[in-house]
């Protein structure tokens, strides 16, 4: 099964989608154990692209996953993302392949919560999870995939800053920079490390 993350953009932000494959280790008489993640696809949509067009693109990506048995999609439901989540859920039966949709609100808090089909996840935890996977070598990104150059640049630009209120702000450092591809990838990785939507079995350190 594949896992995907969808970051919903606004007027000044791109929408982006990332698709990863989870690899497990299998041993006799033991449950499957996590081994690594591999990025299979990542792309950034043009600025101002209508949500209906983004939905159609997600449908195409899901359809290509048919031979893998389906896909689990974590969608940024923060702000304008909420209506898109409902559009995706309504359209999912027509995607041509099984598609689980997990709505995620990205917060500035310190704890992860799950209620009524919505997960609230601190941005610092999403970024920390991605950081741990990259540093451990458990996340592999091929330079041959689409937008890999943009992703590499975003990964170097995203930084954590301490605000005057004592909160950590995570985002792209610099005028005109974006973090949409990083967010999409972080959402996909977050979902791939969970068997179900609920409290994480893996506690990740903060940044």
Alpha carbon 63 to its chain centroid, in Å, reads: 18
Distance separating alpha carbons of residues 81 and 86, to the nearest angstrom: 9
Residue 68 is predicted with a pLDDT of 61
The secondary structure element, H or E, covering residue 184 is helix 180-192
pLDDT band at 205 (very low <50, low <70, confident <90, very high): very low
Q: What is the mean pLDDT of residues 126-153?
A: 88
Distance separating alpha carbons of residues 182 and 16, to the nearest angstrom: 9
Residue 117 is predicted with a pLDDT of 78
- Taken in order 112, 77, 106, 141, the sign of the CA dihedral is positive
The pTM is what? 0.83
Q: Which of 51, 111, 49 is nearest to 75 (CA)?
A: 51
Rounded to the nearest integer, the mean pLDDT of the chain is 80
pLDDT band at 152 (very low <50, low <70, confident <90, very high): confident
Q: Is 64 exposed, middle or buried (0-12, 13-18, 19+ CB in 10 A)?
A: middle
pLDDT at 206 over 70: no
Q: Which of 77, 118, 70, 75 is nearest to 95 (CA)?
A: 70
Read out DSSP for 135-168?
HHT-EE--TTSTTHHHHHHHHHHEEEEE-TTSPE
Residue 164 is predicted with a pLDDT of 42
The secondary structure element, H or E, covering residue 88 is helix 81-91
Residue 103 is predicted with a pLDDT of 93
Q: Running DSSP on this structure, what letter comes out for residue 78?
A: T
Q: Is 36 exposed, middle or buried (0-12, 13-18, 19+ CB in 10 A)?
A: middle
Per the listing, tokens 């792309």 go with: 43
pLDDT at 181 over 90: yes
pLDDT at 200 over 90: no
Q: Are 2 and 172 in contact (CB under 8 A)?
A: no
Please write the tens of the pLDDT for every residue from 4-61.
999 998 777 889 999 999 998 888 888 888 889 999 999 999 888 888 898 999 888 8
Residue 124 is predicted with a pLDDT of 87
Please write the tens of the pLDDT for every residue from 58-102.
888 888 766 566 789 999 998 778 888 889 988 888 887 788 899
Residue 177 is predicted with a pLDDT of 54
Among residues of the chain, what percentage have pLDDT more than 90? 28
User: Can you read off the two tokens belonging to residue 168?
Assistant: 């950590």
Distance separating alpha carbons of residues 188 and 196, to the nearest angstrom: 13
In the chain the domains, ranked by start, together with CATH numbers, are: 2-192 (3.30.420.240)
User: Can you read off the two tokens belonging to residue 114?
Assistant: 């799950």
């Amino acid at each position: 099964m594949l896992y995907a993350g969808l970051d919903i953009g606004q007027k000044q932000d791109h929408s982006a989608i990332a698709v990863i494959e989870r690899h497990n280790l299998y041993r006799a008489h033991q449950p499957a154990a996590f081994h690594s993640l591999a990025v299979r696809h990542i792309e950034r949509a043009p600025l101002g692209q209508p949500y209906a067009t983004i939905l159609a693109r997600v449908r195409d990506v899901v359809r290509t996953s048919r031979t893998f048995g389906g896909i689990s999609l974590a969608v940024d439901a923060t702000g304008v993302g909420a209506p898109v989540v409902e559009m995706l859920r309504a359209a999912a039966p027509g995607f041509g392949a099984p598609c689980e949709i997990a709505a995620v609100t990205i917060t500035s808090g310190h704890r992860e919560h799950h209620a009524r089909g919505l997960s609230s996840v601190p941005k610092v935890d999403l970024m920390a999870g991605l950081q741990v996977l990259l540093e451990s070598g458990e996340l592999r990104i091929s330079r041959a995939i689409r937008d890999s150059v943009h992703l590499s640049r975003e990964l170097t630009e995203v930084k954590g800053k301490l605000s005057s209120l004592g909160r950590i702000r995570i985002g792209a450092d610099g005028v005109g920079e974006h973090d949409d591809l990083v967010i999409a990838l972080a959402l996909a990785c977050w979902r791939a490390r969970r068997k179900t939507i609920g409290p994480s079995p893996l506690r990740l350190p903060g940044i």
